[in-house]
Amino acid sequence: MEPLPMALLFVIPFLLLLRPKGLPIIGNMMMMEQLTHRGLAKLAQKYGGIFHLKMGYLHMVTISNPEMARQVLQVQDNIFSNRPATIAISYLTYNRADMAFAHYGPFWRQMRKLCVMKLFSRKRAESWESVRDEVEKLVKAVSANTGKTVNVGELIFNLTKNITYRAAFGSSSQEGQDEFIKILQEFSKLFGAFNIADCIPWLGWVDPQGLNSRLEKARHALDKFIYTIIDDHIQKRKTNVNGGAGGYYDPDMVDELLAFYSEEAQVNESEDLNSIRVTRDNIKAIIMDVMFGGTETVASAIEWALTELMRSPEDMKRVQRELEEVVGLDRRVEESDLDKLPFLKCCLKETLRLHPPIPLLLHETAEEAVVAGYRIPAKSRVMINAWAIGRDKKSWEDAESFKPRRFMKEGMPDFKGSNFEFIPFGSGRRSCPGMQLGLYTLDLAVAHLLHCFTWELPNGMKRSELYMSDVFGLTAPRATRLYAVPKNRLVCSLF
Ligand code: HEM
Ligand SMILES: *[C@@H]1O[C@H](CO)[C@@H](O)[C@H](O)[C@H]1NC(C)=O
Ligand SMILES: *[C@@H]1O[C@H](CO)[C@@H](O)[C@H](O)[C@H]1NC(C)=O
Ligand SMILES: *[C@@H]1O[C@H](CO)[C@@H](O)[C@H](O)[C@H]1NC(C)=O
């Protein structure tokens, strides 16, 4: 190629990079409320499927179109698979000692392998069992309150908290749960808090929200909590190894991780799982990933599914008719029934399309890249708007409406990650490793709640009055909790 056209090729895409104009340095920092999935979707209607924002020194690129999402998550995923980390995230994850916030590389690969094979795998029967047990407790709790108004949202959040807490720490340690949840809630706030030092490092000393001392306190609280738990588990392991008789116990996630414990971290390129070594910081950070990754996401999906179905009585009737025909009103749903409930699955898919629990996938570029002709600088924060993509008018007919039937058609997109118009679990290297466990909880909880009970809105509230807003954080649950009145539906006794 001649020198001149070659140069033009590079220059033109650079000039084409669209960006809403902003002040120098401060850039678009006044746009905080626009930086949610909804705000960014609006900007995308104006500026297109890819656009650029500058916050202080930070470059942000937003992707809101399926084809460009494919570019980023599949075609060029080797460049786009890092994670951005704010000061809060780096501090609270022990400088990315976990999997979810680790950069793409050998350390992340080993952590991911460890988690996928040892923690989230179908082979770890204990996790699946804790789902069944806790769903059972949920049905009991609801049936003790039939005819009364129940805070369904909180009940479901308690369910998923219990599931992840048990999977992580075992069932013996319920006492610490309230303390742990408090610590995590503070973490969640700190993860979401806007810190000016992330955009303009030399302004860090200003710290008007007192973030620095809150960060220190929160990390100290978690340290103390998990140190006790890890020490207890080390003790338990010793007695189990030496104790011999009756040494059987259900290993929880901390036990599984302790099998790889060593004082020194060790990153080893070897493909052998047994060569992985993790430190206390790694164990703490991974347990945090599980609590954050598995609790609000699943709770949000269950609550949205029930809310959408209560707003759409025809679909509710059809799901319940399916349950009646496949399972029958004379017994409870069992695991083997789940695969015979196609319409229920469609309702859950439609829920994940309209309400992906993680609306914005956060990635970072490892080096400079070009997408759709636009140059994206190295270390840019890339936000893939899964929420906007699920509502893309070119990909979805009547995109804003809840219409589970659409998924009954042959050849409709699936969320496994190869249809980029539907990516509630992401796609590719950084996609959700807990998908199966999450879907199992979602399926089982919704099937039980709809098979055992009919649901009515409290105090003559109308369907149209159901508040459909979401709030923005790492996840996007409903802005208000769902309240409803359950009535028994089965002709057999529930227990
Ligand atoms: C309905 C339930 C769930 C949904 C919709 C969901 C969705 C997602 C999404 C969208 C991502 C990010 C993908 C990306 O950045 O490209 C993710 C990552 C992750 N999820 Fe989930 N998730 C769910 C349940 C779970 C559960 C139950 C667990 C664990 C027990 C879990 C653990 C994680 C972890 C550790 C990551 C980070 C992976 C990495 O960075 O390599 N998730 N999830
Ligand atoms: C959820 O758990 C909290 C704390 O354990 C408890 O106070 C609350 O009553 C529970 N909510 C419901 C609806 O069961
Ligand atoms: C969660 O576990 C606690 C302690 O075992 C229990 O009291 C509560 O009812 C459980 N919540 C749900 C929703 O199952
Ligand atoms: C990686 O692990 C293998 C097997 O345990 C060992 O032989 C090798 O020396 C290790 N490499 C490094 C760099 O530690």
What local confidence, expressed as pLDDT, does residue 153 receive? 94
Quick one: average pLDDT of 196-225? 81
What local confidence, expressed as pLDDT, does residue 439 receive? 97
Q: Which residue has the higher pLDDT, 363 or 261?
A: 363
What local confidence, expressed as pLDDT, does residue 174 receive? 67
5 assigned to some structural domain: no
Q: Is 293 in the pocket of ligand 1 (CB under 6 A)?
A: yes
Mutate to test the pocket of ligand 2, among 158, 160, 165, 177 (most ligand atoms within 8 A of CB): 158
Confidence of residue 7 (pLDDT cuts 50, 70, 90): very low
E strands, 193-268, are none
369 assigned to some structural domain: yes
Long-range (24+ apart) CB contacts under 8 A made by 60-65 are 60/380, 60/381, 60/382, 60/383, 61/376, 61/380, 61/381, 61/382, 61/383, 62/382, 62/383, 62/385, 63/371, 63/382, 63/383, 63/384, 63/385, 64/40, 64/385, 64/388, 64/389, 64/392, 65/389, 65/392
CA dist list (Å): 356 to 2, 40, 334, 470: 48, 15, 27, 11
Distance 491 CA to ligand 1 centre (A): 38
> How many whole angstroms separate alpha carbon 236 and alpha carbon 72?
45
What local confidence, expressed as pLDDT, does residue 10 receive? 39
Confidence of residue 242 (pLDDT cuts 50, 70, 90): low
The protein residue whose alpha carbon is closest to atom 4 in ligand 3 is 174
Q: Which residue has the higher pLDDT, 452 or 178?
A: 452
Domain containing 218 equals: 37-488
Q: Would the pLDDT of 493 be above 50?
A: yes
Q: Would the pLDDT of 91 be above 90?
A: no
Confidence of residue 422 (pLDDT cuts 50, 70, 90): very high
Q: Which residue has the tokens 């956060």?
A: 362
Check the annotation: does 432 bind a ligand: yes
18 assigned to some structural domain: no
What local confidence, expressed as pLDDT, does residue 265 receive? 67
What local confidence, expressed as pLDDT, does residue 75 receive? 96
Q: How many folded domains does the chain comprise?
A: 1
Helix, strand, coil share (%) of the chain residues, nearest 5? 55, 10, 35
- What residues line ligand 2, using a CB cutoff of 6 Å? 151, 154-155, 158
The DSSP bridge partners found for residue 485 are 456
Give the SS3 label for residue 391.
coil
Q: Can you tell me which atom of ligand 4 is nearest the CA of 274?
A: 5
Shortest-distance ligand to the CA of residue 162: 3
> How many whole angstroms separate alpha carbon 481 and alpha carbon 119?
31
Among residues of the chain, what percentage have pLDDT more than 70? 88
What local confidence, expressed as pLDDT, does residue 18 receive? 47
287 assigned to some structural domain: yes
266 assigned to some structural domain: yes
Q: At what angle do helices 296-311 and 313-326 cross, to 10 degrees?
A: 110
What dihedral do alpha carbons 356, 362, 366, 372 form, nearest 10°? 60
Shortest-distance ligand to the CA of residue 164: 1
Q: Which residue has the higher pLDDT, 125 or 196?
A: 125
What is the bridge-based pairing of β-strands 381-385 and 360-364? Answer: antiparallel
DSSP string, 408-425: GSTT---TTTT-TT--TT
> How many whole angstroms separate alpha carbon 147 and alpha carbon 126?
34
Model pLDDT for residues 244-285, shown as the tens digit of each residue: 444 456 788 888 898 888 877 666 666 677 778 888 889 988
Q: Would the pLDDT of 455 be above 90?
A: yes
Confidence of residue 435 (pLDDT cuts 50, 70, 90): very high
Secondary structure of 268-311 in HEC code, one letter for each residue: CCCCCHHHCEECHHHHHHHHHHHHHHHCHHHHHHHHHHHHHHHH
90 assigned to some structural domain: yes
Model pLDDT for residues 468-489, shown as the tens digit of each residue: 887 766 677 888 899 999 999 9
Model pLDDT for residues 291-329, shown as the tens digit of each residue: 888 998 999 999 999 999 999 999 999 999 999 999 999
What local confidence, expressed as pLDDT, does residue 267 receive? 67
E strands, 229-273, are none
What local confidence, expressed as pLDDT, does residue 125 receive? 86
22 assigned to some structural domain: no
444 assigned to some structural domain: yes
> How many whole angstroms separate alpha carbon 354 and alpha carbon 470?
11
What local confidence, expressed as pLDDT, does residue 172 receive? 57
Mean pLDDT of the chain: 86
Model pLDDT for residues 397-418, shown as the tens digit of each residue: 999 999 999 999 999 999 988 9
Identity of residue 409: K
Dihedral sign of CA atoms 232, 234, 239, 244 in order: positive
Q: Is 262 in the pocket of ligand 4 (CB under 6 A)?
A: no
What local confidence, expressed as pLDDT, does residue 190 receive? 80
Mutate to test the pocket of ligand 3, among 157, 159, 162 (most ligand atoms within 8 A of CB): 162
Distance 475 CA to ligand 2 centre (A): 21
Using alpha carbons only, what angle is made at residue 390 by residues 43 and 34, rounded to the nearest 5 degrees?
25
Shortest-distance ligand to the CA of residue 166: 3
Total Cβ atoms within 10 A of residue 262: 12
Residues 451-467 as b or e (16 or more Cβ within 10 Å = b): bbbebebeeeeeeeebe
Q: Is 94 in the pocket of ligand 1 (CB under 6 A)?
A: no
Q: Would the pLDDT of 6 be above 50?
A: no
Q: Would the pLDDT of 71 be above 70?
A: yes
Quick one: average pLDDT of 452-461? 93
The protein residue whose alpha carbon is closest to atom 12 in ligand 4 is 268
The protein residue whose alpha carbon is closest to atom 2 in ligand 4 is 275
What local confidence, expressed as pLDDT, does residue 123 receive? 85
Q: Is 268 in the pocket of ligand 4 (CB under 6 A)?
A: yes
What local confidence, expressed as pLDDT, does residue 23 receive? 42
Give the SS3 label for residue 313.
helix
CATH code of 388's domain: 1.10.630.10
Model pLDDT for residues 211-232, shown as the tens digit of each residue: 888 899 999 998 888 888 888 8
